[in-house]
């Protein structure tokens, strides 16, 4: 088996060979040991699952397994300032390592059952609980927001999400004064998440933010996009989005949210902390160690446009960071 010793997002996605692997030395040996016993075809099957019988429609699911979303008004406060990305691109060009490390994981992801689905909210809160996604939708209500999404790989999209502010969920569970951080954990759903077989990754996928970032009005919990239920390849049924941070912070298919006084160490920080840190705020003037972040390529048109500080959301979030100048805010 031929492994490239390549780290996450080592090169821009347009140059990345599919299925690039993140391996440290120990993991490389473990993976090579496991892989040596399999034929090339069996290795691909083992790692990434089969493609036989792949659906052709990236929205298609079993009839009746997802309720339609209730009506959601578009919130005019968040103007993207550019055209919405083509729907098909947004739902077929994805990063979701639990399903594999290439961009076309949607046929595999689409098969993951997303009902019933509950999310546990616990830790330093007055009222911890296990919430059904549909109960939360009914209880909180939905709105649509069109946000810019900037991936650390220097591509970007503009996506209409349907969901609710994370702060509304926090209001339900009532954080204690001692809570300083929010840890966001992605579900592990074998056998659907075939990427979990890449045991050298530090599963589960964890992301995190400060309690102030979680309470910010921009922090959004999508359950839909383009007016339809969020498909698994985009993090269905329930994910988080921080539009001012690089996209890898926006954890998908969440199963648990924990309020804590300990700063969570994220999946990518564990793998490559010098390149993918805790804060990861978008900044065109701070290059990734191996490429520039000055511009971004719009998926759909391929147009290259200048990147903006905080992905253009500075008016909403810049004051979160005024006393944190010693932190590595941009990586």
Binding site residues, ligand MTE, CB under 6 A = 94-98, 149, 151, 186, 205, 234-235, 247-248, 250-252
What SS3 string covers 67-87? CCCCCCEECCCCCCCCCCCCH
Provide the minimum distance between the beta carbon of 78 and ligand MTE in the complex, in angstroms, as a whole number.
Answer: 17
Cβ neighbours for 213, distance < 8 A, ≥ 6 positions apart? 182, 219, 242, 317, 320
Closest to ligand MTE by CB, 100 or 123: 100
For residue 37, the minimal CB distance to ligand MTE (Å) is: 27
CB of 175 or CB of 231, closer to ligand MTE: 231
Q: In whole angstroms, how close is the CB of 298 to ligand MTE at the nearest point?
A: 13
Closest distance between ligand MTE and the C-beta of residue 134, in Å?
21
CB-count exposure of residue 181 (10 Å: 0-12, 13-18, 19+) = buried
Alpha carbon distance 248, 95 (integer Å): 8
Shortest gap between Cβ of 250 and ligand MTE (angstroms)?
5
Task: Output the residue with the shortest Cβ distance to ligand MTE.
Answer: 247
Q: Which is nearer to ligand MTE, 192 or 205 (CB)?
A: 205
Nearer to ligand MTE, 240 or 320 (CB): 240
> E strands within 179-252?
181-186, 206-210, 220-225, 228-229
Residue reference for tokens 């616990």 = 122
- Of 38 and 265, nearer to ligand MTE (C-beta) is 265
Provide the token pair at 232.
């698994």
């Amino acid at each position: 088996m031929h492994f490239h010793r390549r780290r996450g997002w080592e090169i821009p996605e347009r140059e990345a060979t599919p299925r690039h692997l993140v391996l440290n030395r120990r993991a490389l040996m473990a993976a090579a040991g496991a892989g040596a016993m399999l034929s090339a075809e069996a290795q691909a099957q083992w790692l990434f699952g089969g493609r036989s019988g792949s659906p052709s429609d990236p929205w298609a699911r079993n009839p009746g397994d997802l309720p339609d979303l209730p009506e959601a008004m578009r919130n005019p406060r968040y103007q993207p300032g550019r055209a919405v990305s083509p729907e098909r691109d947004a739902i077929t060009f994805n990063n979701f390592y639990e399903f594999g490390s290439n961009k076309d994981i949607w046929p595999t992801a689409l098969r993951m059952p997303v009902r019933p689905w509950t999310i546990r909210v616990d830790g330093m809160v007055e009222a911890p609980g296990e919430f059904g996604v549909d109960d939360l939708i009914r209880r909180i209500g939905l709105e649509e927001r069109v946000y810019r999404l900037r991936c650390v790989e220097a591509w970007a999209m503009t996506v209409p999400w349907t969901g609710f502010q994370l702060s509304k969920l926090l209001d339900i569970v009532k954080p204690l004064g001692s809570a300083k951080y929010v840890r966001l954990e992605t579900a592990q759903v074998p056998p659907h998440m075939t990427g979990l077989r890449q045991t050298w990754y530090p599963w589960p996928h964890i992301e995190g933010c400060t309690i102030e970032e979680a309470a910010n009005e921009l922090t959004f919990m999508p359950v839909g996009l383009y007016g339809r239920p969020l498909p698994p390849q985009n993090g269905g049924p329930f994910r988080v989005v921080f539009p001012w941070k690089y996209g890898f912070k926006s954890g998908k298919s969440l199963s648990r949210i924990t309020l804590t006084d300990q700063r969570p160490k994220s999946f990518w920080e564990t793998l490559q902390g010098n390149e993918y840190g805790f804060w990861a705020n978008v900044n065109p003037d701070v290059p990734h160690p191996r490429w520039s972040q000055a511009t971004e390529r719009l998926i759909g048109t391929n147009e290259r446009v200048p990147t903006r500080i905080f992905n253009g959301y500075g008016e909403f979030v810049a004051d979160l960071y005024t006393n944190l100048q010693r932190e590595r805010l941009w990586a």
